[in-house]
Amino acid sequence: MGVEVAVEGLSKSFGRQAIWRDVTLTLPAGEVSVLLGPSGTGKSVFLKCLIGLLRPERGSVVIDGVDLCACAERDMYEIRKLFGVLFQDGALFGSMSIFDNVAFPLREHTRKSETEIRQIVMSKMDMVGMLGAEHKLPGEISGGMRKRAGLARALVLDPQIILCDEPDSGLDPVRTAYLSQLLIDLNAQIDATILIVTHNINVARTVPDNLGMLFRKELVMFGPREVLLTSDEPVVAQFLNGRRIGPIGMSEEKDSATMAAELAHQAAGHGDGSGHEDVRGIVPQLEPTPGLPARQAVRRRRARVLQILDTLPESARHGIMAELSLEDYERYQDWRRRTTGMAMPQPMPQPMARRPLPPQPGPAQQRPPQPGPVHPNQTTPLPPARRPRPWRRDDQGGRG
Partner 1 sequence: MSAPTRVGPPVGEPEYIEPGPLQRGKAKVVGALREFGNMFAMGLDVFFGLFRRPFQVREFIQQFWFIASVSIMPAALVSIPFGAVLTLQLGSLTEQIGAESFNGAASVLAVIQQASPVVTTLIVAGAGGSAICADLGARTIREEIDAMRVLGVSPIHRLVVPRVLAAMGVAALLNGMVSVVGVAGGYFFNVIVQGGTPGAFLASFSALAQQSDLWVSEIKALIFGFLAGLVASYRGLNPKGGPKGVGDVVNQSVVITFLLLFFVNFVISVFYLQLVPAKGA
Q: Is 290 among the residues that bind partner 1 (CB under 8 A)?
A: no
Which is nearest to 51 in space by CA: 80, 11, 24? Answer: 80
Q: Is 27 among the residues that bind partner 1 (CB under 8 A)?
A: no
Q: Looking at 109, 135, 270, 338, which residue binds partner 1 (CB under 8 A)?
A: 109
Give the Cα-Cα-Cα angle 24, 27, 32 (nearest 5 degrees). Answer: 140
CB 206 to ligand ADP: min, Å: 21
Q: Looking at 7, 34, 45, 130, which residue binds ligand ADP (CB under 6 A)?
A: 45
Q: Is 77 among the residues that bind ligand ADP (CB under 6 A)?
A: no
The number of beta carbons lying within 10 Å of the beta carbon of residue 381 is 14
CB 163 to ligand ADP: min, Å: 12
Q: Is 169 among the residues that bind Mg ion (CB under 5 A)?
A: no
Q: Is the dihedral of CA 67, 70, 76, 78 positive or negative?
A: negative
Q: Is 189 among the residues that bind partner 1 (CB under 8 A)?
A: no
Q: Is 366 in contact with 336 (CB distance < 8 Å)?
A: no
Size of site (CB under 8 A) for partner 1: 28
Q: Is 11 among the residues that bind ligand ADP (CB under 6 A)?
A: no
Which is nearest to 155 in space by CA: 188, 199, 195, 123? Answer: 123
Q: Is 224 among the residues that bind ligand ADP (CB under 6 A)?
A: no
CA-to-CA distance for 32 and 30, rounded, in angstroms? 7
Within 360-389, the residues that bind ligand ADP by CB under 6 A are: none
Question: Which of ligand ADP, partner 1, Mg ion, none interacts with 243 (beta carbon under 5 to 8 A by kind)?
Answer: none
CA-to-CA distance for 133 and 102, rounded, in angstroms? 12
CB 89 to Mg ion: min, Å: 10
CB 165 to Mg ion: min, Å: 6
3-state helix, strand, coil in the chain (%, to 5): 40, 15, 45
Which residue lies nearer to partner 1 by CB, 106 or 188? Answer: 106
Which residue lies nearer to ligand ADP by CB, 42 or 223? Answer: 42
Q: Is 391 in contact with 223 (CB distance < 8 Å)?
A: yes
Q: Looking at 39, 53, 338, 366, which residue binds partner 1 (CB under 8 A)?
A: 53
Q: Is 189 among the residues that bind Mg ion (CB under 5 A)?
A: no
Give the Cα-Cα-Cα angle 36, 374, 207 (nearest 5 degrees). Answer: 25
Site of interaction with ligand ADP (CB under 6 A): 14, 19, 37, 39-45
